[in-house]
Structure formats: structure tokens, C-alpha cells
């Protein structure tokens, strides 16, 4: 599969040509995934990449972006807090 021209400036929704139905869940994760599908990839933060890659969404597009971030900063991390007991 070949990437579209200017793919970094497009949304996952546009690139995958799939529009998810609107659902309102009482879940931050579900709501955030739906929001992120509509945000251009060049606007994604490290945390946005973590969320979507963790849910296996848009991997074809997001893995190259994540690898670039890690190449720039091997210790890049999102906002995920580790809970220890």
C-alpha cells in the first residue's frame, strides 16, 4: 500500500476512508479515540500516538510517526501514569 501525498496532514478517518458512527460512551478512551480519528496526524502528540497505537488503530500511519519521535528522543513518553502498589 502506498501512502497518499501529504498523508501527515490528513486524518486517520480520511486516510482509511472509514467514518466511525457517533457514540457517546462514558469512557475517556473511546471518546478520545473518536476525536483523534478526526485530527490531522501532524497535530498528534506523543500521548495521542500512545493511545492510538495501544488500541491498534491506524498503525500503518502511526508507527512511522512514532519511530520518528523515538529517533529524535529515545525516551519520549506520553502522559500515561504508571500505577504501582
Residue 44 has pLDDT above 90, yes or no: yes
In contact, 23 and 30? CB cutoff 8 Å: yes
**Which of 39, 80, 79 shows the shortest CA–CA distance to 62?**
39
Q: What is the pTM of this model?
A: 0.81
Residue 53 has pLDDT above 90, yes or no: yes
Distance CA 8, CA 44 (A): 10
* pLDDT top residue among 5 and 46: 46
* pLDDT top residue among 73 and 16: 16
**83 CB-near residues (< 8 Å, 6+ apart):** none
In contact, 47 and 79? CB cutoff 8 Å: yes
Residue 30 is classified by DSSP as H
Amino acid at each position: 500500500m502506498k501512502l497518499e501525498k501529504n498523508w501527515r496532514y490528513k486524518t486517520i478517518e480520511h486516510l482509511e476512508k472509514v467514518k466511525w458512527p457517533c457514540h457517546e460512551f462514558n469512557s475517556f478512551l473511546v471518546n478520545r479515540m473518536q476525536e483523534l480519528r478526526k485530527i490531522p496526524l501532524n497535530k498528534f502528540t506523543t500521548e495521542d500516538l500512545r493511545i492510538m497505537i495501544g488500541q491498534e488503530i491506524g498503525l500503518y500511519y502511526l508507527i512511522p510517526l512514532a519511530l520518528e519521535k523515538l529517533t529524535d528522543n529515545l525516551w519520549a513518553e506520553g502522559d500515561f501514569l504508571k500505577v504501582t502498589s
